Amino acid sequence: MQSDPALTVSATTVRFGGLTALDDVSLAVRPGTVHGVIGPNGAGKTTLFNVICGFVRPVRGEVLWRGESLRHHRTHDLARLGITRTVQGLGLFAGATVLDNVLVGAHRHRGSSALGTLLGLRGAVRDERRLTERALGVLDELDIARWRDALPGALPYGVRKRVALARALVAEPELLLLDEPASGLSEVEVEELVVLLRGLTDRTAVLLVEHHVDMVMRVCDHITVLDFGRVIADGPPEQVRADERVTEAYLGTAG
């Protein structure tokens, strides 16, 4: 039996002036799965990601999180709701160490204020220590703990991407949104990412928007394919791969 979806995007339409970027798009992300969204350039992938994050408001439709409408949510509400994300630009703080960048993501679990920590209040200090231990645990898990005191700018791109992922994971999300997690990675790093993402499914659902179709086919349990803002295929990888509309959509834009 299939579990109830964690996230549902329901009959969602987005327009930018006269352009329909998403046209009646629906999808359901189930707990414990990796769900991919693919499609040719301009298909609406980023717009869909932005609707889920609350950056873009649809003219029709809604996003449901555990059955509750996210109609009025703002981006900064997401972590509190159990949803974290990485973005294409990574968004790391250049002047902060890797560890401090990751700690920024842990604030959902901070029981006391930063002022309390500064004043040396016992509960706040204990809280801070607990979060630091958790952040170090995630750095260790992603095999980047040796760079904990480095500044992001000094690190290779693949490591910086892992730092951004660590920051999203430390909040212990129930849904992890990844915007092009494979972009800019070497083939070896993409392989490592596939293993890493598969290892997350016992604790969070993952929704990723990605250009790297081959990686998506290998890592995902379920794939939604967009073309010109519409869903043209939705199902497990083998079904999507065999779908003629998907082949046509990609061949139609090649070259």
Ligand X SMILES: Nc1ncnc2c1ncn2[C@@H]1O[C@H](COP(=O)(O)OP(=O)(O)OP(=O)(O)O)[C@@H](O)[C@H]1O
How many chain residues are in contact with ligand X, going by CB under 6 A? 11
Question: Does 44 participate in binding ligand X (rule CB under 6 A)?
Answer: yes
Question: Does 2 participate in binding ligand X (rule CB under 6 A)?
Answer: no
Question: Does 41 participate in binding ligand X (rule CB under 6 A)?
Answer: yes
Using the minimum distance from each CB to ligand X, give the nearer residue, 163 or 213.
213
> Among 14-22, 97-105, 162-170, 242-250, which window interacts with ligand X (CB under 6 A)?
14-22
Buried b / exposed e across 222-234, counting CB within 10 Å, b at 16+? bbbbbbebbbbbb
CB of 140 to ligand X, least distance (A): 33
Question: Does 89 participate in binding ligand X (rule CB under 6 A)?
Answer: no
> Among 36-44, 68-76, 171-179, 193-201, which window interacts with ligand X (CB under 6 A)?
36-44
Q: Exactly one of 42, 82, 116, 158 binds ligand X (CB under 6 A); which one?
A: 42
Contacts of 168 (CB under 8 A, 6+ apart): 84, 85, 86, 105, 176, 178
Question: Does 54 participate in binding ligand X (rule CB under 6 A)?
Answer: no
Using the minimum distance from each CB to ligand X, give the nearer residue, 139 or 223.
223
Using the minimum distance from each CB to ligand X, give the nearer residue, 45 or 161.
45
> Among 40-48, 65-73, 166-174, 235-243, which window interacts with ligand X (CB under 6 A)?
40-48
In DSSP terms, 28 is beta-bridged to 8
Using the minimum distance from each CB to ligand X, give the nearer residue, 5 or 40.
40
Using the minimum distance from each CB to ligand X, give the nearer residue, 46 or 132.
46
Q: Exactly one of 45, 73, 85, 167 binds ligand X (CB under 6 A); which one?
A: 45
Question: Does 21 participate in binding ligand X (rule CB under 6 A)?
Answer: yes
Are residues 166 and 139 in contact, defined by beta-carbon separation less than 8 angstroms?
Answer: yes
Question: Does 39 participate in binding ligand X (rule CB under 6 A)?
Answer: yes
Using the minimum distance from each CB to ligand X, give the nearer residue, 47 or 86.
47
- In Å, the largest CA–CA distance within the chain is 63
Question: Does 19 participate in binding ligand X (rule CB under 6 A)?
Answer: yes
Question: Does 55 participate in binding ligand X (rule CB under 6 A)?
Answer: no
Instruction: For 25, list phi and psi in degrees, rounded to 5.
Output: -90, 130
Bridge-based pairing of strands 230-235 and 222-227 is antiparallel
For binding to ligand X (CB under 6 A), which residues are involved?
16, 19, 21, 39, 41-47
